[in-house]
Amino acid sequence: MADLQKAAKALEERGYTVHMFSTAAEAAEWLNAKIDGTTVGFGGSATLRDMGLYEALSTHNTVHWHWKSNDDMAARHAAMTDRVYCTSVNALAESGEMVSIDGMGNRLASMLFGHETIYYVIGRNKLAPTYEEAVWRARNVAAPRRAQQMGRKTPCAIKADRCYDCKSPDRVCRGMTTLWAPMTGMSAEVLLIDEELGL
């Protein structure tokens, strides 16, 4: 079993600012107090949805999220230029590497460039003991669950067991990134939550 405390230490050694919370409600309250009067972009994230963070932040910020917009492409583009970006990852290794998979690319792009501050919100279920197991989780747990959630007709969604590296036009896993450290020029903070959240 991977250890949140060890992951926090590894992330700090890699240059991230880390905050630990017992519950998603505590983390949401902290973010709601921290992010105020600015523009905020959201990546596609069941974690953020489950926390009710969009609803809280929208009362005193301008928040762009394609999951909450009638024009999802316009919302994606707007989110990429916002001062603050909130997202989760598909897996976190105890050694501090964060692994994410994307189909459209907007979330991965925002993790790499364009914001003043990025907040990664990660539940304990995303934690893996090693980097290799984090990659495995992203590909064989998170991506198939997302494909199912979206009603895609991919082998992973239909069989619900693993990645088939398919050539389906419905494929949701088209790119994967590993973050070894905060990107240069962007403040990066990680919120680790001792609850299961998201996919």
Q: Residue 184, class by beta-carbon neighbours within 10 Å (0-12 exposed, 13-18 middle, 19+ buried)?
A: exposed
Q: 60-103 pLDDT, tens per residue?
A: 999 999 999 999 999 999 999 999 999 999 999 999 999 999 99
pLDDT given at position 45: 95
Q: Which of 73, 76, 101 is nearest to 89 (CA)?
A: 101
pLDDT given at position 4: 94
pLDDT given at position 49: 96
- Check whether 161 has a pLDDT greater than 90: no
- CATH class, range 4-130+182-193: alpha beta
Contact 98, 181 (CB under 8 A): no
Task: For the chain, give the percent of residues with pLDDT over 70.
Answer: 99
- Check whether 180 has a pLDDT greater than 90: yes
- Check whether 50 has a pLDDT greater than 80: yes
- Check whether 38 has a pLDDT greater than 70: yes
**DSSP 8-state class, residue 67:** G
In the predicted model, what is the mean pLDDT of residues 119-137? 98
Least confident range of 1-5, 112-116, 118-122: 1-5
> What's the pLDDT band for 160 if we cut at 50, 70, 90?
confident
**DSSP 8-state class, residue 31:** H
> What's the pLDDT band for 2 if we cut at 50, 70, 90?
confident
Give residue limits of the domains in the chain: 4-130+182-193
- Check whether 197 has a pLDDT greater than 70: yes
| 158 against 58, higher pLDDT | 58
- Check whether 137 has a pLDDT greater than 70: yes
- Check whether 1 has a pLDDT greater than 70: no
Average per-residue pLDDT for the chain: 96
Using alpha carbons only, what angle is made at residue 13 by residues 31 and 38, rounded to the nearest 5 degrees?
A: 25
The model's pTM is 0.95
Q: Which residues of 75-108 are buried (b: 16+ CB within 10 A; e: fewer)?
A: bbebbbebebbbbbbbbbbbbbbbbbbbbeebbb
How many of the other CB atoms lie within 10 Å of CB of 156? 26
Distances (CA, A) of 104 to 87, 108, 152, 186: 15, 9, 14, 22
